Chains A and B, each alone.
Chain A
């Protein structure tokens, strides 16, 4: 447990020393979501209808931005080798790294989403559902993304390959995440969608770190 926290603290400390990484993804999210109301024009019913989809697609793409760097620096400077032969199981260290990635690239999106949702004329309760859906969905994106990041580690042109690999896997999160907000707006209730999102998260928490660890070992050989 201490080892998990140590890895997460180390990654967060490095991000604090080089803030551009967090801010790029966050500003990307803010700008992309703001372009839609500007481009489509002030028509509340249409904006309300597209809001969940736009916010979620922008969140997926913003997560993609930092994904490739998740293990790349550790791979380049030999830290990943040290992690692989550390007495602490590699899977624990991977969990720490995924946690740090979510805190850096997922949590800020969750926090600014309600402000951005106002541009789309979402009301208070819809914004609440959006935040809950993102809170369940963004860790899922970090977990699934970590598998892709580990698989494309050390591959030339890995960035494009990573998007091709990971974006299709993000589709269930997109459908149920955006679906939760839509269902709430149309009065059906978001409970079902949120439960499914939570179930997928629980499954990913359990399996994704193992898959990532296996992929990292292959990359190191």
Chain B
């Protein structure tokens, strides 16, 4: 489904990686590993279409991602180090506006259910600014769950999560992958999700 061929990433004068090939099909997930500064985040940003590779190409369902943009973006969910949450808005508003900007319909009930599922019951109407770092990540998890995307690209999704939230996220990813979805993750931990392959940078 997603295939990358001969990817080369250059940041400044440094060549982070070159000639990288990878493919991922429905029901698979990739674990991108490497030292700090090896280019994990850069690779994910290339795959998400946020940056252009110096060489090589990325194809989604056989079409280059720069050409089939809106189709690819409908199937894509990307989260980097930032949660893309607005501090002055409530958790519920954050979910609703994010969905509306993507042109997706998300009912308040569905959004509330997702927030409750991730342990934010009673905090739906609080501004995100007063939530703890872990709770903010949980709002992000609710967003992942409410967005119907085929391909998840998550950069360090397990940071700042407690044991229970790590379990919740692992189950979420497992369910997504076994349901025919795809996921590409970076993490320094080993993850208890079956069916993964490792991409070493």
Residues of A within 8 A of B (CB): 2-3, 6-7, 9-10, 13-14, 17-18, 76-79, 81-89, 93, 220-221
Contacts and interface: CB of A to CB of B under 8 A. Distances in A.
Contacts of B78: 81-82, 85
Contacts of A86: 73, 101-103
28 contacts: A3-B100, A6-B97, A7-B97, A10-B93, A13-B89, A14-B88, A17-B127, A77-B83, A77-B86, A77-B87, A79-B84, A79-B86, A81-B50, A82-B98, A82-B101, A83-B101, A84-B50, A85-B48, A85-B49, A85-B50, A85-B73, A85-B78, A86-B103, A87-B102, A88-B101, A88-B102, A88-B103, A221-B52
A177 to B, nearest CB: 33
B14 interface: no
Given A3-B102, A10-B101, 17 more contacts: A2-B103, A3-B103, A10-B86, A13-B93, A18-B88, A76-B82, A77-B84, A77-B86, A78-B80, A81-B84, A82-B98, A85-B76, A85-B78, A87-B70, A87-B74, A88-B103, A89-B70
A174 to B, nearest CB: 34
Nearest to B88: A17
B201 interface: no
Interface in B55-102: 70, 73-74, 76, 78, 80-89, 93, 97-98, 100-102
Contacts of B104: 87
Contacts of B97: 6-7, 9-10
Contacts, number: 77
Contact of B100 (A6, A17, A89, A220): A6
- Give 8 nearest A-B pairs by CB, closest first: A78-B82, A6-B100, A78-B84, A87-B74, A17-B88, A10-B97, A82-B84, A79-B84
Main secondary structure of the interface of B (DSSP, over half): loop
A11 to B, nearest CB: 10
B81 A78 contact: yes
A87 B73 contact: yes
A220 B82 contact: no
Nearest to B51: A221
A137 B189 CA distance: 56
B50 A6 contact: no
Nearest to B76: A85
A141 B81 CA distance: 34
Interface of B: 48-52, 70, 73-74, 76, 78, 80-89, 93, 97-98, 100-104, 127
Most buried by B among A14, A79, A85, A86: A85
B110 to A, nearest CB: 17
A145 to B, nearest CB: 22
Contacts of B86: 10, 14, 77, 79
A2 B100 contact: yes
A77 to B, nearest CB: 5
A38 to B, nearest CB: 37
Contacts of A221: 50-52
